[in-house]
Chains A and B, each alone.
Chain A
Amino acid sequence: MSGEVNVRSAIHFASAALALAVLAFGAIQPAVAADTPDPAADAKAFRNYFTQKFPKLKLEDFVNGPYSMNEDMHRQWEEKEQFPPYDFSLDMGKEMFSKPFKNGKSYADCFPNKGIGIRQNYPYFDEKEGKVITLELALNRCREANGEPPFSYVKDEMAALTAYMAFTSRGKPFDIKIPGDPRALEAYQNGKRYFYTRRGQLNFSCATCHVQSPGERIRAEVLAPALGILNAMPIYRSEWGGMGTISRRFTTCNSQIRGVPLNPQDDEYRDLEYYLSYVSNGLPISGPGARP
């Protein structure tokens, strides 16, 4: 008889403890989140998380995504890099970059330092407009300002241009700045929230794959760590048999988890790119890149 009583009381005790724990956890949660976002601290914590998770990996190797996650993949990547499949897109981008528009101007006139070696400063927060400006958006705005039709954000021309601009910045560390403007802090926080928010019927967030399980496989692909995940953009993916811009990567990731993608360069994506680039500050640009 007493055995039975113990069992019942044990259950009571356990359920009470559980309720308490849930309450406590719930209580702590809002207290921490109420503080204003501190990007610098976030970036430090973000980097520490990954360097502790992959202690043997050199910091700059994170930009190689899945290829830094296992030896067999790394060898296949090195073989491809001898004569990388993005070579054609890079040459096309270089040619397009120097060809003047109908009005005689060219991309060099739209960008600081004639557009050479500046990719690491994008995206930046434009205080006049109060919004994040990404490289892809700036390129299309330059075209429109010179009477040229904008390119699709997910197709080859945009990939070729960004490939060339990335190439001219190879090795330069990401240098994303968040000005004191509260709207910049808000854009950064929107990007961070998007990154951690679960979406789509599969109920994944970017973090579910790229923070919780980098290096592991999801179906056929080895997942890249979130640290330095945009450094190699734009990428030639064997999967696509062609080039892909950051816009293409964001929209396809959404549909893979059965979420309806937003339009390329919508505010959410621009803020997401702002957050992801900021927390990868200091890591070298390695674009254009090849990926599985």
Chain B
Amino acid sequence: MLKSIRLLALVLPIAGATSVLAAGSEADFKAAYAAAEAANKEAAALRNQWTTTAAAMAAAKKAADTGDFDEAIASSKEAEALAKASIFQATSEKEAWKALEIR
């Protein structure tokens, strides 16, 4: 019984350590995903979201569910970039649209 407890005591920290490592990238994923979500909400406020942002966020979530946090972080970052681009588009078009107007 004693041996098993000692063994268990040994295994636990290692498991703890590795999960910390994995958890680390999970935390990174959560942060990256939250950033993407925030940017996409701002795009929504400007009534100018892109379908590809939503697709990248879905891919990120799917990858995260399977535990592939590297892929999940990459997709979250991509989603954030797309959301930021859609925000830039909305703000720059506030004036730029007049260039094309038929006069």
Query: Are chains A and B touching in the complex at the 8 Å CB cutoff?
Result: yes
Residue positions of A touching B, CB distance < 8 A: 29-30, 32-33, 42, 45-46, 49, 192-193, 196-201, 203, 205, 207-208, 211-212, 255, 258-260, 262, 268
Pairwise interchain contact B98-A29, C-beta atoms closer than 8 A = yes
Shortest Cβ distance from residue B57 to the other chain A in the assembled complex, whole angstroms? 12
Q: Which residues of B contact A197 (CB under 8 A)?
A: 93, 97
CB-contact partner of A196 in B54, B85, B97, under 8 A: B97
CB-contact partner of B54 in A199, A212, A260, A268, under 8 A: A260
- 9 cross-chain CB contacts under 8 A: A32-B98, A33-B98, A45-B102, A49-B102, A198-B97, A199-B93, A201-B86, A207-B100, A211-B102
Complex-state Cα separation, A116 to B99, whole angstroms? 41
Mostly helix, strand, loop or mixed at chain B's interface?
A: helix
Nearest to B92 among chain A residues (CB) is: A198
Nearest to A208 among chain B residues (CB) is: B100
Q: Which residues of B contact A196 (CB under 8 A)?
A: 97-98, 100-101
Q: Is B48 an interface residue (CB 8 A)?
A: yes
Interface centre among A49, A196, A208, A255 (most CB of B within 10 A): A196
Pairwise interchain contact A205-B50, C-beta atoms closer than 8 A = no
- Interface size on B (CB < 8 Å)? 22
Q: Which residues of A contact B101 (CB under 8 A)?
A: 192, 196, 207
CB-contact partner of A201 in B82, B90, B93, B97, under 8 A: B82
Query: Given A201-B82, A211-B100, 17 more contacts at CB 8 Å?
Result: A29-B98, A42-B102, A45-B103, A49-B102, A196-B97, A196-B98, A196-B100, A197-B97, A198-B96, A201-B50, A207-B100, A211-B102, A258-B51, A259-B49, A260-B51, A262-B47, A268-B47
Complex-state Cα separation, A258 to B50, whole angstroms? 6
Q: Is B25 an interface residue (CB 8 A)?
A: no
Pairwise interchain contact B48-A199, C-beta atoms closer than 8 A = yes
